[in-house]
Amino acid sequence: MSEIVTLGIDGMTCAACVSRVERALQRVPGVQAAVVSLATERAEIQIAAADAAMREQLAAAVAKAGYSARSVDPLAAAREPVESRDAWRVLAAAILASPLVAEMLGHFGWVDFHLEPLLALALATPVQFVLGAPFYRAAWKAVRAGSGTMDLLVVLGTTAAYAASAVAVLRDPFGHVTHYFEAAAVVIALVLLGRLLEQRARRSAVRAIHALVALAPERALVRRAGGEIEIAARDVVVGDVVVAKPGMRFAVDGRVLEGESTADEALITGESRPVEKRPGDLVIGGAVNGEGALLVEATAIGAQSTLARIVRLVERAQGSKAPVQRLVDRVAAIFVPVVLAIAVSAFLVWWLWLGDAAGGLVAAVSVLVIACPCALGLATPMAIVAGCGVAARHAILIKDAAALERLALVDAVVFDKTGTLTEGRPSVVRVASAPGFGERQVIALAAAVERSSAHPLARALLARAEEIGIPPATPVLVESLAGRGLKGRVDGALVLVGTAALMREAGIALDALAPAIAALDDEGLTRAFVARDGMLVGVVGLGDRLRADAESALRRLRDRRIHVVMATGDAQSTAARVASGLAIDEVIAEAAPDMKLAVVERLRKAGRVVAVVGDGVNDAPALAAADIGIAVGGGADAALETAGVAILRGDIGQVAEAIALSRATRSRIRENLFWASIFNLLGLPAAAAGLLNPMLAGAAMAFSSLAVGLNSLRLMRWRPPPAL
């Protein structure tokens, strides 16, 4: 049984860094797989067994690769504000580089400004070696580890420009010297600015995680030894009785022992209406208690709580890699050596062929600077971080990036019926009353006799009575007739509620309602007959009622040209009743789990990308066989065992939303990869040809990273599209 260890990784700057950390972790004995994300700065390592020694080995491997590893506690670490360590460096670099830029503009006649060579050297030196010190440290680690990174490219490029300029100035301190101090200083300033903007973009992208973590209370009021004491929430143990006062957030997951109230679970499950809580009901840590005081027995704490699991699932999804990212990583692994070869070639061509060593130096430096693979490394993970974060905000949990990518390609959706398209519990669907009676009388008598029963059909009758405003009368002498129904006296009259067999035993004729009874049979409804003083009053048809959102949800899928299938184990008549009026292309009745599996395989063989929507338990074979499984409701932990996506709110309309969001995320990934690639494909030849000076190359490189980040953050404004 393998385990997943999550480590925070500090010091990564580009896609090459990601590849190097992954290779270092995968070489550790016992590691089965390792996935590193630049956007979340996390590593997910699958190992046989997690112990202190193994964690030390993993941290040592990361350190040997030139980076640092730290343990991660989602509910603790995410509370810490993300402060930029580069902000002061950016400001200082900008101040020191400004006079150098002004002098460069003076060369073009745009401003009247000139710096003495020694003063230019004095301004450029602290930028190069003090503010740029992190680049040198990271580059040295990369060289020691035998690999290339963005930091190495920056160091080689800026050092070459600085060194050539410094030698020229020291040879003729008071003459008219051509130097490139402004290029080296501005490149360092721009790279620092790019990293600052990347940090802020990452912080925005993971804001959904911070919003979830903020829900967890830090203190809990616990009843111990006959009194109430306040302790840290992390010190609560399973079995403790926690006091939830009105308006407080529940400190832990638990079961209500005493009291009645409501819980606002909107920020966790997306359920907009308060949920009633009575003894025996479960509450979720982080939800807000309503107006009643409750005593709650803690059932899950810390990392096992619903909130912690959701945070962990979202973080894991944000840190996972889409299939397209594997290709990007392979490209990044060879990118730096290729760029170094291009830079050397450009210098040699300019020097040996064109006889311009100075021009060759400028071209080589420009190549090294513009080729930094920041944008390439961020293109996919930034979009995934943003997409998974937005999904979590809408109570949609996506298991990993691969699920997100597959979901975007779905063109066929197979729905289970019971509990998915229907409410999953019996409800009153039809009422047929005998001549001289009305629906209210039928329901009033049935609800009165069923008042003391705990049977699901009894609850359905009572719910219908409450729905139409009938307070059930108080029956007397109620007797249960095994397998047939109930009898009792209501306002002095003998009332029977039950099967047709019970009516026949009592000698009650059913002929007056024969057509209605046949119609209920055709619809596959359960019949409950109601009689008073030997006379048939009516018959109630009970069944699993269609969900209120089912019609609009399926129509939204059909409007987007998605093939909709309903597969159910119910009889054909019941399936036809449910499907009537719905936007369903194909109805499959009497479908056992193996038949549902066959349906999925048939659709896939026809070339369709299939999603199965079910409850995550009964539909496990079909969910596993589908290209993507979508579990509606049921809680994050159970649902995601078999499904790649979980709709926590239980609103099947969100299936269309999840597909739309995944398509939007996929579009962002493709756009990001296009821009990241086009900058290098166009920029590298331009830089080698001398069409870009190092400063413009640095600006283009910084802009490419910024463009990728901002394009990904557009997802944060995503809203569900309206029905077509």
Instruction: Provide the CA 214 distance to its chain's centre, in angstroms.
Output: 17
Q: Which helix (H) or strand (E) holds 529?
A: strand 526-532
Q: Which two tokens stand for residue 537?
A: 């009053």
Report the candidate in 128, 688, 705 with the shortest Cα–Cα distance to residue 366: 688
Residue type present at position 148: G
d(CA 132, CA 150): 13
The residues, any chain, with a CB within 8 Å of residue 563's CB and separated by 6 or more, are 411, 412, 413, 585, 586, 603, 608
Helix (H) or strand (E) holding 609: none
Q: How do beta strands 586-588 and 610-614 pair? A: unpaired
Q: From CA 14, how far away is CA 704, in angstroms rounded?
A: 13
Q: Is 206 helix (H, G, I), strand (E, B) or coil?
A: coil
The 10 Å Cβ neighbour count of residue 123 is 21
Strand, coil or helix: 6: strand
Place of tokens 């973009």: 201
Q: For residue 694, count CB atoms less than 10 angstroms from its CB and return exposed for 0-12, middle for 13-18, buried for 19 or more.
A: buried
Residues 6+ apart with CB under 8 A from 654: 394, 395, 396, 647
- Find the catalytic residue in 151, 240, 400, 416: 416
Q: Report residue 453: phi and psi, to 5°.
A: -90, 150
* Under 8 Å between Cβ of 623 and 638: no
- Measured distance CA(287)–CA(648) in Å, rounded: 14
* Token code pair at residue 432: 């047929």
Query: CB of 20 within 8 A of CB of 43?
Result: no
Mark residue 226 as left, alpha or beta (left: phi above 0; alpha: psi -120 to 50; beta: remaining). left
Backbone angles phi, psi at 421, to 5 degrees: -85, -20
Gyration radius from the chain CA atoms: 34
Closest CA to 275 of 250, 302, 251, 298: 250
Q: Whole-angstrom Cα distance, residue 362 to residue 157?
A: 9
Nearest 5°: the CA angle 57, 59, 65 is 105
- Single out the residue of 556, 523, 525, 517 nearest to residue 433, CA to CA: 517
Is 627 marked active-site?
Answer: no
Burial class (CB in 10 A: 0-12, 13-18, 19+), 607: exposed
**Centroid of chain to Cα 457:** 39
Residue 354, CB-side half-sphere exposure with 13 Å CA sphere: 17
> Who contacts 623 (Cβ-Cβ below 8 Å, separation ≥6)?
612, 614, 616, 629, 631, 642, 643
Rounded to the nearest angstrom, the gap between the alpha carbon of residue 668 and the centroid of all alpha carbons in its chain is 16
User: Catalytic site residues?
Assistant: 416
